[in-house]
Amino acid sequence: MDTIVVGVDGSESATRALDWAVAEARRARAELTIVGAWSYGGHLASVPAPADAARRVVREALARVAERYPEVTVRDAVSEGTPSYVLIDAAHDADLLVVGSRGLGGFRGLLLGSVSQHCLNHAACTVVVVRSPVPATPLGAEASSRRIVVGVDGSPGAGWALRWSVGEARRTGAVLDVIASSVFAGLTGYAVSIETDVLGAARQIARDAQVQVGSQAEDVTVLTSVSGDPPAVALVDASRDADLVVVGAKGHHGLRGLLLGSVSLYVARNAYCPVAVVRHADTRLHTEPPTGSPTGGTA
């Protein structure tokens, strides 16, 4: 059985992440592990019994899951340690790690908390950052109204993201919106010559992505477009009415040596909906949807 790990700390952001994770676990028929962490340092220093507080938060999360989706298999874990390290360790063999955009330890005004950013940089699996307080598509909405945006640039990372997003689109019945950018198309592996300008290269990237989707899942409705904006700006703009944005951990625009590309980080910080940052090894959970799986709406 596939495994999804979600971190909880009692914050509103973590609760949204929990709701997204349990809905995904239901769709994927995956096992959900709810993780809490406690420490005597930082913002928990004033809490008399931080271990008890962490256990209480996890118990409340378990009760929330049991009430909403009793059919989901759930485990729990509470560990002492820095939250990001506890989550990364818990998700070492998982298929997906889900975190809120900013928990109780995040500084007010930051768009992305230190825990979520650290997980994005160092987790071994795909990470979903749940940013939006209200999903673009409410639970129970018609499948045809769901929309997943994925950015492509011809890089291996974008290819992994596309494959992952196709599986998610099949699972949820969503339309897949593939977006390429002409701004940096000349930096991709596609040959750009006098005969082929950067716009032509970007269009070719989009066409190739459409072919890949068709070969992987003929039942997925796919739309393609080429934006004149930089990739990160185009994806954030497209996220305004999307249910999920999917990016590779590092595409052609990530600086060599960085664990997370600049486009991926910008989108995770600024998108209006949940963001999935896909690692290259993560194809199991989203390659084939389970037969007869439920298709609850994107949470």
Quote the CA–CA distance of 115 and 122 in Å, as a whole number: 11
Residue partners of 71: CB distance under 8 A and separation at least 6: 26
Give the mean model confidence (pLDDT) for residues 56-83.
94
Both tokens assigned to 95:
């298929």
193: amino acid identity, one letter: S
Q: Which CATH class is domain 3-130?
A: alpha beta
Asked if 115 and 83 count as a contact pair (C-beta separation under 8 A), the reply is yes
pLDDT at position 259 over 60:
no
Of the ranges 160-169, 194-203, 280-289, which is most confident?
160-169
- pLDDT beyond 60 at 57: yes
Can you give the pLDDT at residue 45? 45
Tell me how crowded residue 295 is: count the other CB atoms within 10 A of its CB: 14
Could you tell me the pLDDT band of residue 106, with boundaries at 50, 70 and 90?
very low
Give per-residue pLDDT as tens, 224-258.
999 999 999 999 999 999 999 999 987 554 433 33
Answer left, alpha or beta for residue 292, where phi above 0 means left and psi between -120 and 50 means alpha.
left
> Does 3-130 match 143-287 in CATH topology?
yes
Neighbouring C-alpha atoms within 13 Å toward the C-beta of 32: 30
Q: Which of these, 274, 221, 213, 283, lies nearest to 23 by C-alpha position? A: 274
Per CATH, the number for 143-287 is 3.40.50.620
Domain ranges of the chain: 3-130, 143-287
Around Cβ 159, how many Cβ atoms within 10 Å?
Answer: 19
pTM: 0.83
Question: What does the pLDDT look like over 31-55, one tens digit per residue?
Answer: 999 999 987 654 444 455 788 889 9
**What number of other Cβ atoms are within 10 A of residue 25's Cβ?**
26
pLDDT digits (tens, 9 = 90+) for 175-212: 999 999 988 544 444 444 444 578 888 899 999 999 99
